[in-house]
A and B are shown apart, each in its own frame.
Chain A
Amino acid sequence: MSTAAPLPAHRLFSPARVGAIARNTLTELTRQKVFYLLLLFGLLLIGSSVLLVRFSFQDQFQMLKDISLGAMSIFGSLLAILATAAMLPRDIEERTLYTILAKPVPRVEYVLGKFLGIAGMLACALFLMGLLFLLILFVRERGVEAEMAASLSGDAAALAAQIETLRAQVFHPNLLAAGLTIFAKTCVLAALTLFVSTFATSQIFTVFIVTTAYFIGHFQATAREYWQAMGGAAWSKAFAGFVAILFPDLQIFNLVDEIAVGVAVPLALLGKTLVLGGFYVLIYLLAAQLVFAQKEL
């Protein structure tokens, strides 16, 4: 430990450090009340769909998917906004940020690690909700199969064909596409929240701004269509473009509606949606880093 020795080498960017921060953030977030509370509500809503649904078996899967995917989307979004908004203020308040940044950790690694931790937490929550959803779907589907077998006694070939169709309909790969787009949407919201929290003066302010962005994000596509139908003037187009840059166009992640209806989602559309989601995340993280790098702690 001679003081004359040269400083040890330092890596400008280290995935190991980012990973350590991400893991730490994930552990922290999954120990928070807001995580359990929102996850619990989501699970309850998905679980209660069993009670709500009392229709013919054609409709019931439709409703199950509507309710469950809706619950995943809403509670995932709420979790993304609420958990992320509290994170940076807490690290500053509790001065854990000082101890972390006093180590040779570039701020960009902190921002990235935090985001990955949140994304991990969202993946956990959505995975658990999705698991319950699939379980319910599975039990229901088996029930309907039993009904079919009871009513269609005799013709084994016809029964097998019907069951085949039913399974293909209920467990369509679209469900995976729906899960992925919901995850992408919550990640976009989390990245936006992280960005806003780098300059917001309070947590309430962050939540307010992002919630506003959430609604604008959902309605801007509708508004754009409306303007276009009105024979959109040049300035209104420019305005719509400006809004699309500032606020994420969240409607693109609503493949959920189509999926629940049972329309096949082309792989290209899914890919495009995920790439666009990644692009939004990248932009917001970049913006977050730009502000955070200059922030006085």
Chain B
Amino acid sequence: MTPAISIRHLSKVFPVPFRRERVVAVEDLSLEVAPGQVYGLLGPNGSGKSTTMKMVLGLVPPTRGQVEVFGVDADRVESRVAVGFLPENPYFQKFLTGTETVAFFGRLAGVPKRDLRDRARELLRLVGLEEAADRRLSGYSKGMLQRIGLAQALVQEPRLLVLDEPTAGVDPAGSRDIKDLILKFKDRGITVLLCSHLLAQVQEICDRIGILHRGRLVCEGPLAELIEKRAQTELVLENAPAGLLAEIEAAVGRHEGARLLHRRHPQASLEEFFLTVTGDEKKP
């Protein structure tokens, strides 16, 4: 099957104006994203994640190498027909309402005029902006802008979504909503390429990850395999009496080589804890 994204020996060198030095943003990057996969691109600031995404979208021409999206070279306009993009810190025209913004991008993506309104409404409902649909974007919060960004990315029912830090600057509840949305897209069979600093979240949603460091791919593979500690096993028991625990410890002691590393009560993640305490109400 044609990969959703195929990147081969991709490099990007930016010249620095009026100087002789150059910035190597991406260097000899090769990777493939299979259809239906959620692929996480990780890396510290300035490691080339955004630049890689821009090359996937044909916004920036590669210095060397090749990018194909569903088998079409990324420098061709057709490669973007079934692609939705959420840029880093998206910014939209303040004077438009939510519905108008989504409708505008729908028009650009070739959504028939008669379907525009309905599509915009439907997407705004999906991202939880129903009530704000007819308000101007000048009154939107950061998290709301991020959601409008998602809605416009989804407007032509794309097969591939490219999300550059979709949860940056969004509060935990909003961030969880966005995570749930991404999982929903995955269920619909949409391929997702995303980058994020929030490793806990990436861990929850990505099938496969690649780690970029200074423009180079230092590690790549299925997430579960990469972080599995094969030599260790976790047992989580509920309502175990002290006697049972003592028996288990004694049994472990009888086996050559086996060792109990620690014994503790599992902790909720701070995110889970925060969300329980602040309740479940949806943010507008």
* Interface set of A (CB-CB < 8 Å, partner B): 1-4, 7-8, 10-12, 14, 16-17, 20-21, 24, 27-28, 31, 94-96, 98-106, 201, 296-297
Contact = CB atoms under 8 A, between A and B. Distances in A.
B197 to A, nearest CB: 19
A17 B156 CA distance: 14
B212 to A, nearest CB: 20
Nearest to A102: B85
B109 interface: yes
21 contacts: A1-B157, A3-B4, A3-B36, A7-B78, A10-B77, A10-B81, A17-B108, A17-B110, A21-B108, A27-B95, A27-B96, A95-B88, A95-B89, A95-B90, A98-B57, A98-B59, A99-B105, A100-B105, A102-B162, A296-B14, A297-B54
Question: Which of A24, A96, A103, A201 lies at the interface centre, i.e. has the most chain B CB atoms within 10 A of its CB?
Answer: A103
Interface stretch (B188-196, B201-209, B247-255): B188-196
A-B pairs, 3 with minimum CB distance: A3-B35, A102-B85, A20-B107
Contact of B109 (A3, A28, A98, A103): A103
A3 B190 CA distance: 8
B191 to A, nearest CB: 7
B274 interface: no
Contact of A8 (B58, B59, B82, B107): B82
Contacts of A201: 17
Given A7-B78, A7-B81, A104-B80, A95 B87 contact: yes
Given A10-B78, A99-B85, A31 B108 contact: no
Contacts of A100: 105, 108
B87 A1 contact: no
B1 interface: yes
Contact of A20 (B60, B108, B156): B108
A101 B93 contact: no
A105 B157 CA distance: 16
Interface in B78-113: 78, 80-85, 87-93, 95-96, 104-105, 107-110, 113
Nearest to A4: B1
How big is chain B's contact interface, by range? Answer: 35 or more
B222 to A, nearest CB: 19
A98 B58 CA distance: 10
A297 B50 CA distance: 12
B262 to A, nearest CB: 44
Contact of A296 (B60, B83, B157): B60
Interface string B43-84: 000000000001001111100000000101000011011111
A103 B80 contact: yes
B181 to A, nearest CB: 15
Contacts of A31: 95
A24 B103 CA distance: 11
Contacts of A21: 108
A201 B17 CA distance: 10
Given A17-B108, A28-B93, 13 more contacts: A1-B188, A3-B159, A7-B78, A8-B81, A10-B77, A14-B110, A24-B104, A27-B95, A94-B91, A101-B59, A102-B80, A103-B108, A297-B59
A186 B1 CA distance: 54
Given A8-B82, A24-B93, A102 B61 contact: no
Given A7-B78, A98-B87, A1 B189 contact: yes
Contacts of A95: 87-91
Among A11, A16, A98, the most chain B Cβ lie within 10 Å of the Cβ of A98
A16 B114 CA distance: 13
A100 B70 CA distance: 20
A7 B95 CA distance: 34
A17 B78 contact: no
Nearest to A294: B61
Contacts of B93: 24, 28, 96
A11 B36 CA distance: 26
A88 B92 CA distance: 15
Contact of B83 (A1, A2, A102, A297): A102
Contacts of B88: 95
Given A10-B77, A31-B95, A98 B85 contact: yes
B11 interface: no
B92 A104 contact: no
Nearest to B160: A3
